[in-house]
Structure 1
């Protein structure tokens, strides 16, 4: 099965079956492939698990 890496507006990542409509609020991150490849990409790019709104709020303190 082929998956697509998706990202929401809080910079949180997940995978979604390729070819299916994306769920509301999620956009393609531009990576499609086997599950393991997609999860490896997420491991490489999603280094801070906090939602973007929390990171922004903490940065202004």
Structure 2
């Protein structure tokens, strides 16, 4: 069996978790607990563009919030 993440012709979802982290996810695989669909099934290029445009801070939301709290103190 080949890796479904490597299939350039497959359809993918963009998932996001409560920490704001994004993931490219094959559309035929069940969405794991703790993740929500941020972009419905589409081609890999559209998913990658969505992730690049919307996930600009790679830090988990909780870590970014700690940095913001420290800057305010």
Choose between structure 1 and 2: higher strand proportion: 1
The partner residue of 1:44 within 53, 58, 63 is: 53
Larger C-alpha radius of gyration, 1 or 2?
2
Higher helix share: 2
List structure 1 segments (4+ residues) > 3 angstroms apart after TM superposition.
none
Structure 2 CA distance for aligned equivalents of residues 5 and 32 of structure 1? 8
Runs of 5+ consecutive residues of structure 1 not aligned to the other structure: none
TM-score (normalised: structure 1): 0.90
Select the structure with the greater relative contact order (CA < 8 A; seq sep ≥ 6): 1
Identify which of 46, 50, 68 aligns with 1:59.
68
Unaligned runs of at least 5 residues, structure 2: 1-9
